[in-house]
Amino acid sequence: MKIAVIGGTGMVGSRIVAEAATRGHQVTAISRKGDASASDKVTPLKAEASDLAALKHLAADNHVIVSAIGPSREPGGDPSAFADTLVELATAVSAARLIVVGGAGSLFAAPGVRLVDTAEFPEIYKTEALAAAASLDALKALSTAGEWSYLSPAPIIEPGQRTGSYVVADDTPAGDSISAEDFAVALVDEIETPAHTGRRFTVAN
């Protein structure tokens, strides 16, 4: 299968690239610098998520597009613009399946209460989490998107061990944490065997 990963050099994106390549897929790792490590299974590509012409070309040439980017963390950046970015991306790549790496803040701690809205949610991450939550709402409302799935991690995701094991839930956390390696396993499993088309799901160790 041919898979393009936007944000293919980030903490999560690089592990998705590695997991997919290990399973024998042909992967294009897209980043602003185009500095992913090349191999017989991985092709680096320098491109911006805002380059809609390039994204349309990728969708025509790949079976699956993975969005492993998030709201801006750059000084002076506008995290709230991420929902519009995702809508534009989803529309541009509608010829291929889209798998979105989402955030955990939009998961529900209780009926009608998102994690990002709880008193315990860290203030430092709130702006980014709200932007990611808005992107999920925008994707759900989009009529011009093709097939998509949105994968939220557990509240804590960080580099760790690849166990190949994880548990799945829909809109409430499946657990407290997941390694970035096992998150990549779950995402590539969804690519290979779609089970959550048109909806969000979440995974944890």
DSSP structure string for 119-144: TTS-GGGHHHHHHHHHHHHHHHH-SS
pLDDT, tens digit, 9 for 90 and up, residues 87-121: 999 999 999 999 999 999 999 999 999 999 999 99
| 46/32 Cα distance (integer angstroms) | 5
CA torsion angle 54 39 153 147 (round to 10): 40
Domain of 175 in residue numbering reads as 2-204
Number of domains in the chain: 1
Instruction: Return the CATH number at 144.
Output: 3.40.50.720
- In the Cβ-directed half-sphere of 125, how many Cα atoms lie within 13 Å? 18
Q: Extract the tokens encoding 140.
A: 């759900």
* pLDDT tier, 200 (very low <50, low <70, confident <90, very high otherwise): very high
| 57/33 Cα distance (integer angstroms) | 19
pLDDT, tens digit, 9 for 90 and up, residues 146-168: 999 999 999 999 999 999 999 99
If we measure between CA atoms, which residue out of 52, 9, 54, 19 comes closest to residue 191?
19
pTM: 0.95
